[in-house]
């Protein structure tokens, strides 16, 4: 087997996508509550008010994880549930504390993400991620939750996909809070880097010394014309990778965006903070991205759903567009190509050889149905997972230091701007009754983990 000893097999979820109970036990609104309740922002007017009702079905869901045989569960903590108005909400804290205890009772390592896109609305009202103070508030939140869960959490992840928070949230506006201001997006990116570094520092001061510290990035595996690839790589990958891994912002990124901002929001000492030492770099991978020069005339397609005419999330890349890629595609329209994952892991291994890696999300949406006999025959998801796990294995054999793989997702859930229309789960959720049904992919994943892949 090409996987190293102790390799973690897991599944991932995120708070707003599964919990529901949006107004229970003292939880306050996050930017995703506001956004999803704004007409036209989420498909079919869906909201996360109930989601998969995980808040009330936690024990059942942990039992499912145990049956799957996963060794680790990656979940996120809702900031506005645990610190609704800046002061601790005991009921919110208790929810996660019980979850962590139940995971440990089942021998499942808790992998906790502090921020999976759900900024408390009060902080957005104060300016959100474009404001420096949000980073300080994040570190305060990290420290407080670290004090509560720090003796039991195996791995801490500061941020999930800060690229989406900054550039989809404040650039193209397809995610909450829905702003379309390129400078705000760059400011947000910087304050997310800062928040990450401050939070790692704060956590290290209060949690178990054996805990691992990480961040999860959705690195774009780019193909296409060299100059387009360079520009998009700067503003989607290196804008986070380089500061977090110690080399500061890339000079070409500063040049490419100089017509927009002088980066005066970058203060002395910030680079050192953002570069707080990491134990693991989390990587989310779904598909490769093909870019090319844009002719400036035809409607421009973008990565976020390929919506022609939408504002670009690739700030400073005004002459770049996305090219359609050959099939097959998932229900998201994303091309299926596992070679991109292997190439991405090998690139990271080459460029950051001392940073261990973990696949913190990988999976696919398909239009699953529960057949009359109660089975969900999701053969395409099985094939997707099998091919991508094989790609991780090849990367390990070629020397990449990959420590784990988390399937996205444990359950079907609220897929952001697509609402409940896209199903990524290993387990099917009936949104009328909340009923869970194992898909064939769940059984396949269980057997794969039990047998050891390949
Ligand atoms: C990632 C997100 C995750 C989910 C998957 C499909 O970008 O981190 O919450 O939406 O995509």
Q: What is the mean pLDDT of residues 211-228?
A: 98
Question: So what's the pLDDT on residue 318?
Answer: 83
Q: Report whether pLDDT(362) > 70.
A: yes
What's the N-to-C CA distance of the chain in angstroms? 6
What is the rounded distance in angstroms from the CA atom of residue 325 to the CA atom of residue 327? Answer: 7
Beta bridge partners of 109: 72
From the CB of 78, is ligand 1 less than 6 Å away? no
What is the rounded distance in angstroms from the CA atom of residue 111 to the CA atom of residue 375? Answer: 30
**409 upstream amide cis, omega within 30 of 0:** yes
From the CB of 157, is ligand 1 less than 6 Å away? no
From the CB of 416, is ligand 1 less than 6 Å away? yes
> Which helix (H) or strand (E) covers residue 448, if one does?
helix 440-451
What is the rounded distance in angstroms from the CA atom of residue 278 to the CA atom of residue 281? Answer: 7
Q: What is the pTM of this model?
A: 0.98
Report how far ligand 1's centroid is from the alpha carbon of 284 (Å): 8
Please state, in angstroms and as integers, the Cα–Cα distance from residue 307 to each residue in 179, 196, 322, 323, 328, following that order.
Answer: 16, 30, 10, 12, 19
Q: What is the mean pLDDT of residues 40-60?
A: 98
Helix (H, G, I), strand (E, B) or coil at 268: coil
From the CB of 330, is ligand 1 less than 6 Å away? no
Report how far ligand 1's centroid is from the alpha carbon of 321 (Å): 22
The protein residue whose alpha carbon is closest to atom 4 in ligand 1 is 415
What is the rounded distance in angstroms from the CA atom of residue 425 to the CA atom of residue 364? Answer: 8
Q: What is the mean pLDDT of residues 173-178?
A: 96
Question: So what's the pLDDT on residue 452?
Answer: 81
What is the rounded distance in angstroms from the CA atom of residue 164 to the CA atom of residue 173? Answer: 10
Question: CB within 8 A of 214, min separation 6: which ones?
Answer: 155, 156, 157, 158, 278, 279, 280, 281, 282, 358, 360
From the CB of 364, is ligand 1 less than 6 Å away? no
Report the CATH number of the 8-451 domain.
Answer: 3.20.20.80
Which pLDDT band holds residue 366 (cuts at 50, 70, 90)?
Answer: very high
Residue spans of the domains in the chain: they are 8-451
The preferred substitution site among 408, 420, 422, 423 for testing ligand 1, maximizing ligand atoms within 8 Å of CB, is 408
What per-residue string of b and e applies to 262-282 under the rule 16 or more CB within 10 Å gives b?
Answer: eeebbeeebbebbbbebebbb
Report how far ligand 1's centroid is from the alpha carbon of 259 (Å): 31
From the CB of 156, is ligand 1 less than 6 Å away? no
DSSP 206: H
Q: Give the range among 178-187, 276-285, 294-303, 401-410 with minimum mean pLDDT.
A: 294-303
What is the rounded distance in angstroms from the CA atom of residue 47 to the CA atom of residue 38? Answer: 10
Report how far ligand 1's centroid is from the alpha carbon of 117 (Å): 10
pLDDT, tens digit, 9 for 90 and up, residues 420-445: 999 999 999 999 999 999 999 999 99
Q: What is the mean pLDDT of residues 353-357?
A: 97
Average pLDDT, the chain: 96
393: annotated active-site residue: no
Q: Report whether pLDDT(302) > 90.
A: no
From the CB of 32, is ligand 1 less than 6 Å away? no
What per-residue string of b and e applies to 18-29 under the rule 16 or more CB within 10 Å gives b?
Answer: bbbbbeeeebbb
The preferred substitution site among 114, 117, 415 for testing ligand 1, maximizing ligand atoms within 8 Å of CB, is 415
Which pLDDT band holds residue 308 (cuts at 50, 70, 90)?
Answer: low
From the CB of 415, is ligand 1 less than 6 Å away? yes
From the CB of 407, is ligand 1 less than 6 Å away? no
- CA 45 to mean position of chain CA atoms: 23
Helix (H, G, I), strand (E, B) or coil at 378: coil
Q: What is the mean pLDDT of residues 13-20?
A: 99
Identify the active-site residue in 102, 131, 342, 361: 361
On whether the CB atoms of residues 426 and 407 are closer than 8 A, the answer is: yes
The preferred substitution site among 416, 421, 422, 424 for testing ligand 1, maximizing ligand atoms within 8 Å of CB, is 416
124: annotated active-site residue: no
């Amino acid at each position: 087997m090409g996987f190293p000893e102790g390799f973690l097999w897991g599944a991932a979820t995120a708070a707003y996508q599964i919990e529901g109970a949006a107004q229970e036990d003292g939880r306050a609104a996050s930017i995703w509550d506001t956004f999803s309740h704004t007409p036209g922002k989420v498909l079919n007017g869906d909201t996360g008010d109930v989601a998969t009702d995980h808040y009330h079905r936690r024990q059942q869901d942990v039992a499912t994880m145990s049956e799957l045989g996963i060794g680790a569960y990656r979940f996120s903590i809702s900031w506005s549930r645990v610190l609704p108005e800046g002061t601790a909400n005991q009921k919110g804290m208790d929810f996660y504390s019980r979850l962590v205890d139940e995971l440990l009772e089942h021998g499942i390592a808790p992998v906790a993400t502090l921020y999976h896109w759900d900024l408390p609305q009060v902080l957005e009202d104060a300016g959100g991620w474009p404001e420096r103070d949000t980073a300080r508030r994040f570190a305060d939140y990290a420290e407080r939750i670290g004090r509560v869960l720090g003796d039991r959490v195996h791995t801490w992840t500061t941020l999930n996909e800060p690229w989406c928070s900054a550039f989809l949230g404040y650039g193209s506006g397809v995610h909450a809070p829905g702003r379309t201001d390129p400078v705000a997006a760059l400011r947000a990116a910087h304050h997310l880097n800062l928040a990450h570094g401050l939070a790692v520092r704060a956590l290290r001061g209060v949690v178990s010394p054996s805990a691992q510290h990480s961040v999860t990035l959705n690195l774009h595996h780019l193909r296409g014309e060299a100059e387009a690839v360079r520009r998009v790589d700067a503003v989607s990958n290196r804008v986070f990778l380089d500061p977090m891994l110690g080399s500061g912002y890339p000079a070409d990124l500063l040049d490419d965006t100089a017509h927009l901002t002088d980066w005066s929001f970058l203060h002395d000492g910030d680079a050192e903070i953002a570069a707080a030492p990491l134990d693991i770099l989390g990587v989310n991978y779904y598909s490769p991205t093909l870019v090319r020069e844009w002719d400036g005339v035809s409607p421009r397609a973008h990565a976020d759903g390929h919506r022609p005419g939408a504002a670009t999330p690739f700030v400073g890349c005004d002459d770049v567009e996305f090219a359609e890629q050959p099939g097959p595609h998932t229900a998201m329209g994303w091309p299926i190509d596992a070679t991109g994952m292997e190439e991405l892991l090998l690139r990271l291994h080459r460029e950051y050889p001392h940073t261990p890696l973990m696949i913190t999300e990988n999976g696919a949406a398909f239009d699953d149905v529960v057949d009359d006999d109660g089975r969900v025959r999701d053969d395409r998801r099985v094939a997707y997972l099998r091919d991508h796990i094989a790609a991780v294995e090849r990367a390990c054999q070629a020397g990449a230091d990959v420590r784990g793989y988390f399937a996205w997702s444990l359950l079907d859930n609220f897929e952001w701007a697509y609402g409940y229309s896209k199903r990524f789960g290993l387990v099917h959720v009936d949104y009328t009754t909340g009923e869970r049904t194992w898909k064939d992919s769940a059984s396949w994943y269980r057997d794969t983990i039990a047998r050891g892949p390949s």
